[in-house]
Amino acid sequence: MAPRRETLGEKEEDWEFEEEELLSDPELLATEIVENPRMLSIFLRLATPKTAKALLNTKIPNDRGVAKATLYRWLNKLQRMKAVSSAKGLGRARYYRLTEQGHEILNIIKRIMKEVLRDKLLPPETLFKDLSKASSTHRDIFSTGPLYGYTRRREKPEYEALKEQLKGWRGLELSDFIKTVIETFGVDPIAVMRALNAHSLELNGKQYVLIHYKK
């Protein structure tokens, strides 16, 4: 049976994993997750330990979110698949986190998302028509890290060197990137930026989001 996408108007309880296939096929499970915005949002957050309460607060654009019963049903299935483990904290809360197999699935999800976005992102020669007109201050994406990192100031940047460094990167203006992620995956764009280690670059007063691909 081919995977299908859950529509926003569909009842959550009507959507089920094909358990026999998914238990032995991380690639298929990753594909199912990417095609389900609610499950994808939760799985991305499980990269670090989270309580069920925190997972219920997961932001899903243009959607009503995940019902408590549905969340626990998913977590139970993921634990049976050995993709997620849980443990009690010092208090009453129970924490959920990805296992080694869960991180393997997450890496496949990241690969799928990155490849889906490739053709939707622009190469630097298209995105930046004239670097020589850029302001003298911008984010140094090659040393400051992801979008949520700090800003380093450069005086009189070497534009030719920057052009060389930008080879292998693809991106969009921030607003366009956010719109593209929501339309493509239906999840919080910040979660996708973090998962794909997106970087930011500021030129001519505009902020861009960039993702690195092999040169």
Whether the CB-CB separation of 83 and 29 falls below 8 Å is answered with yes
Map tokens 């992620």 to a residue: 181
Query: Structure tokens of 117?
Result: 């976005």
CATH code matching the domain that covers 12-118, chosen among 1.10.10.10, 3.30.360.10, 1.10.3470.10, 1.10.3720.10: 1.10.10.10
Domain with CATH 1.10.10.10 in the chain: 12-118
Phi, psi of 145 (to 5 degrees): 85, -155
Report the distance separating Cα 190 and Cα 84, nearest Å: 23
Q: Determine how many CB atoms are found less than 10 A away from the CB of residue 215.
A: 6
pLDDT for position 83: 92
- Please list the pLDDT of the chain residue by residue as tens digits (215 residues): 444 444 434 444 444 544 444 455 889 889 999 999 989 999 999 989 999 998 888 777 766 678 889 899 999 989 988 899 999 878 888 999 999 999 999 999 999 999 999 999 998 878 876 555 544 344 444 434 454 444 444 444 556 666 778 888 999 999 999 999 999 999 999 999 999 999 988 877 889 999 999 76
Burial of 15 (0-12, 13-18, 19+ CB in 10 A): middle
pLDDT for position 141: 41
pLDDT for position 96: 94
pLDDT for position 215: 63
Nearest CA among 101, 110, 133 for reference residue 193: 110
- Give the helix/strand (H/E) hosting 185: helix 174-185
Q: Which residues contact 184 (CB under 8 A, 6 or more apart)?
A: 116, 117, 120
